[in-house]
Chains A and B, each alone.
Chain A
Amino acid sequence: MEALESTSPPVLGKVLAKAKIRMDGPIGESPQARSFSPARGVAPDWNDLVARIRRGDASGMEDLYALFSRGVRFYLCRQLGAQELEDKAHDTFVIVVQAIQRGELRDPERLMGFVRTVVRRQVAAYIDRAVQTRREQTDLEYGFGVCDERGDPERDAIAQEQVEIMTWVLRSVSSRDREILTRFYLLGQTQEQICGEMQLSETQFRLLKSRAKTRFGALGRRKLRMRAVPRILLRLACRSAN
């Protein structure tokens, strides 16, 4: 087992970078990570994991990275966007490891909640910094950092297509069903309120929602199949040309 001599950020950075190289690709490629796959509902031995991180054992950090890297990136990306995601995730891991080594995590069983708190604080700090920077730039009235705020074109196209499918679904249902879905998703009314005002049982409400979702899924799949046909034809044409 590789032991760390120091807990300074550059050393941690090296270990985390190494862990990243080993763990990237499908999450949880290491033997340890495989043994506690959350997808299978099996939790790791938190005490052992935290003890290894406290000792400065590199395998502890690798396992921490294997367990949390996708989730941390997912959370950060959801809240802050994809910009500088890797740096932000790396900073978060350094903070978590240092905090554990300083003994700030008293109960190892609370590791998931602890990491969540650190990530949330990181998000808040990034937002604060962004607001501050924007304010300073506005005060100067010149030299704005011009950034392209448009989203990824492919993602935008997919989102647009999903809205079109959903519009079709909503137009195809009765006006009463449409009103129920609009009240719930758009107007922010609760299930209890809608059921009370529209004389619906909880089962009817759930059924309506699930039917809309099924129809949305079926239409989406049909659209994907339709798009796949020209692609198959193109592939066949290329193969015959070769």
Chain B
Amino acid sequence: MTLDPHAPEDKLEEYCLGRMPAEEVEEFEAHLLVCPRCQDSLRETEAYVRAMRAAAALVAGEDASRSRWGRRWWVRIGLVALACGVAAALLAWWLGKAH
């Protein structure tokens, strides 16, 4: 008689992320109770997923602020260019009137 096979990495990730279907959870947890190898793998996967989530949140925040800053930078450049354009037009109009 053999026990159920060990859970593959994808299944461990599903379990850690709370995406494993309920009927599979029951079977997996029962296996987990008697399988030191799957306990160790789950511990590693859990650490990996936790680190990935924290790092992804951090990097996503950095990306968002960088893109916000980038947008503002282009807005500033645009406003300066517009102001320069208006000033040049006014100067041209004034010079034309003076002559």
Contact = CB atoms under 8 A, between A and B. Distances in A.
B31 A112 contact: yes
Contacts of A241: none
Interface in A158-205: 159, 162-163, 165-167, 169-171, 175, 178, 181-182, 185-186, 188, 190
Give the dominant DSSP class at A's interface. Answer: helix
B34 A170 contact: no
B53 A185 contact: yes
A75 B29 contact: yes
Interface in B50-84: 50-60, 63
Interface in B23-58: 26, 29-37, 39, 47-58
A18 to B, nearest CB: 21
B74 to A, nearest CB: 18
A38 B55 contact: no
Given A38-B3, A116-B29, A71 B51 contact: no
A67 B10 CA distance: 26
B51 A165 contact: yes
Contacts of B56: 166, 170, 178, 181-182, 185-186
Contacts, number: 103
Give the dominant DSSP class at B's interface. Answer: helix
A43 to B, nearest CB: 4
Contacts of A163: 51, 54-55, 58
A95 interface: no
A41 B34 contact: no
A213 B33 CA distance: 26
Contacts of A25: none
16 contacts: A27-B36, A38-B31, A38-B36, A39-B36, A41-B5, A42-B1, A43-B2, A71-B35, A120-B29, A163-B51, A167-B58, A170-B56, A178-B56, A186-B52, A188-B19, A190-B19
Query: 7 smallest A-B Cβ distances: which pairs?
Result: A71-B33, A166-B55, A162-B51, A112-B30, A186-B56, A167-B55, A166-B51
